[in-house]
Structure 1
């Protein structure tokens, strides 16, 4: 049980920076999915994930050295990073596989059970107190996402469940990022995640070679596909760093509702690239999602600016 005397309460400025970094992360994040969907026309889901990790790690490596970031390779820390790498690898493969048969925004809409999962996990494992307002914000944001996309399990079958698996893996990944970000440099941490992702994808592709599967087989990417893979890796590197700094500054449960804003940028990017223009009902959903995100920002800034008088409502992860 965490003692209230040892609990670290983030300052209002820390929460604000955490919210800002998460906002930027979710605005850029759909580019990963746009580039991935374009690449799946010619190569497998696991190959897309593997190239993403390779390019992401190569992109981040110069910054790790320039910052003089210390990469820890202790057995315990490596175990944590291996789990994070496995979670993000499974999530990436499941989600990219979904993108083969579903629109980007549809897949993201189903994926948005992740903030709710993260909020619940944060309250259980990080002892973060979750009030009814934050639960309400998550529920309202999720309903807004459903209005935008209206996903149909009848149309795509079991494939529609893969974003749920992806969401759970990312929730676990985000929870561990929240814990580790207080001990390690975010750049070094994300770099190690990329290395583990490369390892797991290499193992899967090794056993899947020659299978003919569009999920685990390998193929030489052509020039357009390679450019899409580069875009996927760079976008992943940027969003990963922003998210790491966000979780370092603010509680996971505070940041979770903001992730609904990703559906806004995803809808815009999907319209620009694939010509999917939202109808009136979807625009209503977008407004609901934006309102939900703005409310949680206002609520958390207001809460963080008050003196802590009731420890039962102010418990935060150390």
Structure 2
């Protein structure tokens, strides 16, 4: 099968493009999550994610058909896309479930153990080197996660585990994105990430509601679909647009650059989320969240710095002996 023959593929690396895509993508994700947190008071999480998927498909399918190659509606890499879409859908259902119970900065600080997990998983599955110093940075970062969560503390909430699980599924999905590499166009990756999330969350929501009878405190988990009015439709469209752009840019970043290099730039989300949480809901992160956030960010930034330094040295060693005879390639 074509997928099996692709396992030896070595993706090109374009760090600047990846960093730019990821930073802009984080802006869209902050907007999307602020809208999600607001609308969860009116609509269940299944409906919000389903609406995002539906509207995204309505935009992406005609756009792909109009633009043609290299974009495509059918791809032999669909098993990898389906795995990634499932990881995203299930993980972010858990992530949004925690929103009504925790501040935006608190939820996202725990979630941002994901870049640390990405760097670790990249070493295991993609053979991207970590080294001693980056290994110590990972340990410090995970200590920051524990401080932010405060397991066993008086203020610990069990829902804090949900964004941690989402972080793990997110990290796995980014490893899959790196496996896909730039064999797919960005629009195709976006379509295959978002389109399956609708039926996946519908099945998940229906199944969970067969097992649990959710009371008023968990009204956002009921399998209900209120009919939105005109303004509601506009807000749902805004969520879909922001989410679609975020996913597309995020996917592109991990397609064209090493996962361990891109992961630290995910942290640009945190200060934006903290500011929005304060401006919109008056949320002030507790001290343990701020301390944990500082350790997590410091760890991630150091890992990114070490990755850049290692890449530069490796490139210098590779190019120096043959520099007079080599024509530069944009993919190097």
When residues 61 and 270 of structure 1 are mapped into structure 2, their CA distance, relative to the original with a 3 A threshold, is farther
Q: Please name the residue that 1:163 is paired with.
A: 163
Q: Please name the residue that 1:220 is paired with.
A: 226
Give me the whole-angstrom Cα distance separating, in 1, the residues matched to 2:120 and 2:130: 8
User: Does the residue aligned with 2:240 lie in a helix, a strand or coil?
Assistant: helix
Matched, 1:250 2:257: yes
Give me the whole-angstrom Cα distance separating, in 2, the residues matched to 1:239 and 1:7: 26
Q: Please name the residue that 2:74 is paired with.
A: 73
Give me the whole-angstrom Cα distance separating, in 2, the residues matched to 1:249 and 1:186: 10
User: Does the residue aligned with 1:182 lie in a helix, a strand or coil?
Assistant: helix
Q: Note the C-alpha offset of 1:267.
A: 0.7
Q: Please name the residue that 1:3 is paired with.
A: none
Give me the whole-angstrom Cα distance separating, in 1, the residues matched to 2:234 and 2:300: 33
Q: Please name the residue that 2:15 is paired with.
A: 15
TM-score of the pair, normalised by structure 1: 0.79
User: Does the residue aligned with 1:268 lie in a helix, a strand or coil?
Assistant: helix
When residues 205 and 253 of structure 1 are mapped into structure 2, their CA distance, relative to the original with a 3 A threshold, is same
**Kept after mapping to 1: 8 A contact 2:144/2:295:** yes
Give me the whole-angstrom Cα distance separating, in 1, the residues matched to 2:78 and 2:162: 27
**Kept after mapping to 2: 8 A contact 1:204/1:216:** no
Q: Please name the residue that 1:94 is paired with.
A: 94
When residues 146 and 217 of structure 1 are mapped into structure 2, their CA distance, relative to the original with a 3 A threshold, is same
Based on CA coordinates, which of the two structures has the bigger radius of gyration? Answer: 2
User: Does the residue aligned with 1:128 lie in a helix, a strand or coil?
Assistant: coil
User: Does the residue aligned with 1:100 lie in a helix, a strand or coil?
Assistant: helix
Q: Note the C-alpha offset of 1:36.
A: 0.9
Q: Please name the residue that 2:237 is paired with.
A: 230
Q: Please name the residue that 2:248 is paired with.
A: 241
Aligned length: 301
Q: RMSD of the alignment, in Å?
A: 3.3
Give me the whole-angstrom Cα distance separating, in 2, the residues matched to 1:175 and 1:9: 12
Unmatched runs of 5 consecutive residues or more in structure 1 = 1-5, 311-318
Give me the whole-angstrom Cα distance separating, in 2, the residues matched to 1:158 and 1:280: 19
**Kept after mapping to 1: 8 A contact 2:264/2:301:** no
**Kept after mapping to 1: 8 A contact 2:81/2:193:** yes
**Kept after mapping to 2: 8 A contact 1:32/1:235:** yes
Q: Note the C-alpha offset of 1:108.
A: 0.8
Give me the whole-angstrom Cα distance separating, in 2, the residues matched to 1:93 and 1:284: 27
Give me the whole-angstrom Cα distance separating, in 2, the residues matched to 1:193 and 1:174: 12
Give me the whole-angstrom Cα distance separating, in 2, the residues matched to 1:222 and 1:80: 34
1:260-279 to 2 correspondence within 5 Å? 260-277=267-284
